[in-house]
Structure 1
Amino acid sequence: MKKFRPQPGFVVQAYRFALDPNATQERALRSHCGAARAAYNWAVGWVTASWWQRRAEESYGIAEDELTPWRPWSLPSLRKAFNEAKHADPRFASWWEENSKEAYSTGLANASAAFDNYAKSKNARRKGRKMGTPRFKSKRKARLSCRFTTGTIRVDGDGQHVTLPRLGTLRTHEPTAKLLTRVQAGTARILSATVRHERGRWFASFQVEVKQDITRVTRPDAAVGIDLGVKTLAVLADSTGEIRAVANPKHHDQVLKKLRRTSRTVSRRQGPDRRTGRKPSKRWEKANAARNRVHYRVTNLRANALHKLTTAVAAEYGTVVVEDLNVAGMLRNRRLARRIADAGFGEIRRQLDYKTRQRHATRTIVASRWYPSSKTCSGCGAEKAKLPLHVRTYECDACGLVIDRDDNAALNLAALAAACTTGTGVAGDQDTAPAVSNPRGADQKTRATRRSRKATAGRAGGATLPHPRQTETRDRTQAEALTLW
């Protein structure tokens, strides 16, 4: 699906509302989401069938030019093949007309994106962990979701209903006045809508093109450095030397006792068994819903606290400096994983990025992951080679400064803003931090692996040897990409 690009002066924003459907409307919602899952599974089976057929033919000794041709997975190709098969396929022939065409298009678009991600991952053209081949979605585990891009998509004038294709008018649990006011004023245009079921409640999320309103910050010439932590969620130090700490609410720890009790109740009920095909009992479903409500409340409390923090910071300072934390690596520490996940370090950085850029036209500087903010003295600039995590007070051997470890790191991050005179400083320019010698304070050589040689050459300014697969053209056909399968 083609990515939408907003017009100059406009941004794409989501408005999400909880729904209150009646019994008939809820059956229609589940039917549409089930149709999207069925179309996805059909696309995965249709594409991979040619893969297995080719593999079987190769084992028979059939020549390459006589093998079964690859089946394309582009969205237009999948739509064409699905439209030809839905009339004859017994899985769709009797009920496909009951749902909107957007439901099937949602599943086909998701399948096309899944195959694209798999091919890019195999060709080393996708960041992150390796992606495997797309798998079928289970009816019991699949998330109920469906997207509408065409047809009647609007917010009704009474502020209490929304209208979606084929589903009709649905009552909302909360007023839609915030979006309705913008639509009526001509400063917003609805692009698409997505219905989704989460923890016992249906939601409608509208993708809206909204006119950008820039608000001037309170202190445009001030910069703030934010040091994130577990004991204290954030330590804020501005360019004037003022330091203030934001306590960690620890929402998950507050309900941990209740979660344990509800989990024990769920474990004592007769739950589903995939191996034997046993369905869950009514008491298990009721207990599981009670446990999910606790999780859902914690999620909402955490999101509310993070939004309040990031909104206040973005509205006050002209420059915000945050660290590029390796959150995935930090979560491997089993002693701190639960509290790190509860803090939401990645979400804080994401919210600061778009709020400073879209709402206030200020900048966010992302310090390098190897910048020694905690090891460097904020007074004289001396750097320590080692600083264990259990040492919470920084004592400088050069100037004798004694300061809290987190306060020292926040001051160093705030001072980093003055040195970053090039680049826009937004999330796209993550290398705007000044180059420092020996940034990690390493006292031994790095292992001579392919990844470390590449990183060392990049830091030293030398030529980086490309990966052999990266020297090939990036405009590969699907058949060439699938030779790696």
Structure 2
Amino acid sequence: MPWSGFDLINRFNAWKKSEDAGRVFTVDTEGVAEIAVTGLAWRDRVYQQVFEEAAVDLAGGLAAWSDSRSGKRRGKRVGFPQFKKKTANSPSFRLRNKHGKGHPPGIRVGDNGRPRSVTLPGLGQVRVHDDTRRLRRMLANGRARVCFATVSHHGGRWWIALNVQAAELHPERQHSTRNDSDAAGWVGVDRGLSTFVVAATADGTERASLHPKS
């Protein structure tokens, strides 16, 4: 079976309506059993994009495993994708910001006069804690676009993280160009796992790194 996200989505859509996904029977007063539902009985209660984004993530994991196994992928060896465990992983799902021509986007910030809210497809308007003023201004001015939203649960709370494609800052607010002879110029900071912090210049030259304590 092909491993692309598109193929996995089509395969799952066909499977979720088949008998292999399950069947629900009803029994009348005379003891006669009939099939009431074929497939996943709860599939209509979960937004379709949740399944689709999971299939896309699986396709990416399979591609990384295949490339690592064949030697096309450098770095640490990537294992075969594993199912998440409820006791070890935080529940999360992702929603794309899809909308047709002439229709509002599926993911909206501060809709219906409620500044501290995010509207998600299939869920509706959700109240949020943080101030969304700066993001709302950029969205209203066309300087930003919400690509997708990731909803996760940890620390006893639900969190919404928005992936936003934004325009570059005004030249007056950007960092000045770093002189090659300036050892104390601006650097970008990337936080990771195997290496806690890496500081590098715009061309990717690594200036410093800090490894986590064992």
Same fold by TM (over 0.5)?
A: yes
Q: Give the counterpart of 1:366 among 164, 184, 206.
A: 206
Q: Give the counterpart of 1:156 among 110, 119, 126.
A: 110
Q: Structure 2 CA distance, aligned partners of 1:114 and 1:75? A: 10
Aligned to 1:96: 43
Q: Trace 1:408-427 onto structure 2 (pairs within 5 A).
A: none
Task: Note the C-alpha offset of 1:221.
Answer: 4.3
State the identity %: 25
| Residues 48-69 of structure 1, C-alpha deviations (whole Å, 9 max, x = no match) | xxxxxxxxxxxxxxxxxxxxxx
Q: Trace 1:381-420 onto structure 2 (pairs within 5 A).
A: none
Match of 2:108, as an amino acid? R
Q: Structure 2 CA distance, aligned partners of 1:87 and 1:169? A: 30
Q: Structure 2 CA distance, aligned partners of 1:197 and 1:188? A: 26
Q: Structure 2 CA distance, aligned partners of 1:106 and 1:135? A: 16
Match of 1:135, as an amino acid? Q
Match of 1:95, as an amino acid? W
Assess, with a 3 A threshold, how the Cα gap between structure 1 residues 218 and 187 changes in structure 2: closer, same or farther: closer
Q: Structure 2 CA distance, aligned partners of 1:98 and 1:111? A: 22
Aligned to 1:211: 167
Task: Note the C-alpha offset of 1:219.
Answer: 8.0
Q: Trace 1:245-260 onto structure 2 (pairs within 5 A).
A: none
Q: Trace 1:275-286 onto structure 2 (pairs within 5 A).
A: none
User: Counterpart of 2:205 in 1: which secondary structure?
Assistant: strand
- Structure richer in strand, relative to its length: 2
Unpaired runs of at least 5, structure 1: 1-70, 226-237, 239-312, 315-319, 329-340, 358-362, 370-485
| Residues 331-385 of structure 1, C-alpha deviations (whole Å, 9 max, x = no match) | xxxxxxxxxx7xx323xx2xx55xxx5xxxxx6633699xxxxxxxxxxxxxxxx
- Structure richer in helix, relative to its length: 1
Match of 1:147, as an amino acid? R
Q: Is the 8 A contact 1:321 1:367 kept in 2?
A: no
Assess, with a 3 A threshold, how the Cα gap between structure 1 residues 166 and 129 changes in structure 2: closer, same or farther: same
Match of 1:187, as an amino acid? R
User: Counterpart of 2:158 in 1: which secondary structure?
Assistant: strand
Q: Give the counterpart of 2:123 among 154, 167, 174.
A: 167
Task: Note the C-alpha offset of 1:134.
Answer: 1.9
Q: Is the 8 A contact 1:72 1:78 kept in 2?
A: yes
User: Counterpart of 1:195 in 2: which secondary structure?
Assistant: strand
The structure whose Rg is larger is 1
Task: Note the C-alpha offset of 1:167.
Answer: 0.8
Q: Is the 8 A contact 1:223 1:321 kept in 2?
A: no
Q: Structure 2 CA distance, aligned partners of 1:168 and 1:100? A: 12
Q: Trace 1:189-208 onto structure 2 (pairs within 5 A).
A: 189-208=145-164
Assess, with a 3 A threshold, how the Cα gap between structure 1 residues 178 and 72 changes in structure 2: closer, same or farther: same
State the TM-score, normalized to the length of structure 2. 0.71
Match of 2:110, as an amino acid? D
Q: Give the counterpart of 2:5 among 47, 71, 75.
A: 75
Query: More relative contact order in 1 or in 2 (CA 8 Å, sep 6+)?
Result: 1
Q: Structure 2 CA distance, aligned partners of 1:108 and 1:114? A: 10
Q: Structure 1 CA distance, aligned partners of 2:9 and 2:132? A: 34
